[in-house]
Amino acid sequence: MKHLATCAALAGLMTASAAFADSTIKFGHDNKADPFENPAHACTAVFSNILEAGTNGSVEVEVFGSNQLGSASEHVQQVRDGILQATLTSTGALASYYPRIDVLNMPFAFADNSATYELFDGAFGAALARDIEETLGDVVVLGFPDTGGFFAVTNSERPIAKLADFEGVRVRTMSLPSHQKIMQALGAEAYPLAWGEVYSGLQTGVIDGQMNPVPIISFANFAEVQKYMTLTNHLFSPYTFMINRAFYEALSDDERTVLHHAAENCVTASRGISRIIEASDRGLAGLMEQMEVTALSAEQRSAMAAATQPVFEAHVQENLDAKAGELLELLKANVVTANSSVYLK
């Protein structure tokens, strides 16, 4: 009888171990694994802490930063295949799987950071998440964390404050056609280049400039090879936080509830650390000591918006499908409300 009880206990432990192994989220991203250094890992650290504590360890999270398990684009496929359970993917990495993500590259759309929160936490964010899920079929979207804030443009040629200043400046872009068209509409020469080649390209003069959020400009040490930075705030490209659908559906109702709370806090953490980095000597304050920084006036931004938005909308109409056009119209309608909203008004 004692032998049978021991066998039953061992069988129970084996079953519990198998269930525990099945409830481990392997989470890949492409940034340094330090929650104080970048919004991606701040997001994953907060997510892991809340989910593991809130489920009493029935769901564990293993985070693999710095592209340990592949590139950002490969992470998307790995989540779809169930090799990874979760990732934070950039618009560029997601575009090959979901081309409609390009509608987020509407230039000069947002008045400020709080407007981005309003848009992606509201009806547009819900519609976008739903469309990604329906199109891919094998993922669940948990939110849209901050990648570091608005894009700024740096260059080694001259201060840029108006459209004419862009003339002839070779600016590195991602391979997204919309990014290239936006730079060309501003008067610059768009130069697609892999991320790993950007610093050397700036150093050797293959390219004159590049565009990225302020924290990325700081951490990539671009101030060493760039003299000027313009706070254009022309793009905001969030991460898409996605999880494998089969894994998600295998969780209990209680575990899914905790998971969604953890994801919401992950998004909040990414925004908070982004704003802190921007304001610290690791962000704008530090860069202002190393580069000449130009902020645009409302009139200058308006002129740039007028030059780029029609080109971008034509790109969506000509190169994406009707559903992308619907999402763009929804974005435009909702961003007007988001731009006019004031926190605790």
Query: pLDDT per residue over 74-128, tens digit each?
Result: 999 999 999 999 999 999 899 999 999 999 999 999 999 999 999 999 999 999 9
CB 107 within 8 A of CB 303: no
The tokens of 65 are what? 């930063």
Domain 151-236+286-339 has CATH 3.40.120.10: no
Query: pLDDT per residue over 132-191, tens digit each?
Result: 999 999 999 999 999 999 999 999 999 999 999 999 999 999 888 999 999 999 999 999
Q: Indicate where the chain has its CATH 3.40.190.170 domain(s).
A: 24-147+238-279, 151-236+286-339
Using the predicted structure, report yes or no on whether residue 16 has a pLDDT greater than 60.
no
What is the pLDDT of the chain when averaged over all its residues?
93
Using the predicted structure, report yes or no on whether residue 345 has a pLDDT greater than 90.
no
Beta bridge partners of 172: 191, 210
Q: How many residues does the chain have?
A: 345
Query: pLDDT per residue over 287-317, tens digit each?
Result: 999 999 999 999 999 999 999 999 999 999 9
Q: Is 269 helix (H, G, I), strand (E, B) or coil?
A: helix
Residue in this structure with the two tokens 């905790």, named with its chain if needed: 258
Strand blocks (E) in 33-138: 60-64, 86-89
At residue 22, the pLDDT reads 53
Query: pLDDT per residue over 242-268, tens digit each?
Result: 999 999 999 999 999 999 999 999 999
Residue whose C-alpha is closest to residue 102's, from 237, 196, 195, 271: 237
Using the predicted structure, report yes or no on whether residue 327 has a pLDDT greater than 90.
yes
Using the predicted structure, report yes or no on whether residue 238 has a pLDDT greater than 90.
yes
Q: 156-191 burial by CB neighbour count: b if 16+ within 10 A, else e?
A: bbbebebbebbeebbbbbbebbbbbbbbbbbbbbbb
Domain 24-147+238-279 has CATH 1.10.287.3610: no
Q: Does the CA dihedral 284-104-106-328 come out positive or negative?
A: negative
Mean pLDDT of 209-214: 96
At residue 195, the pLDDT reads 84
Contacts of 327 (CB under 8 A, 6+ apart): 100, 103, 124, 127, 128, 131
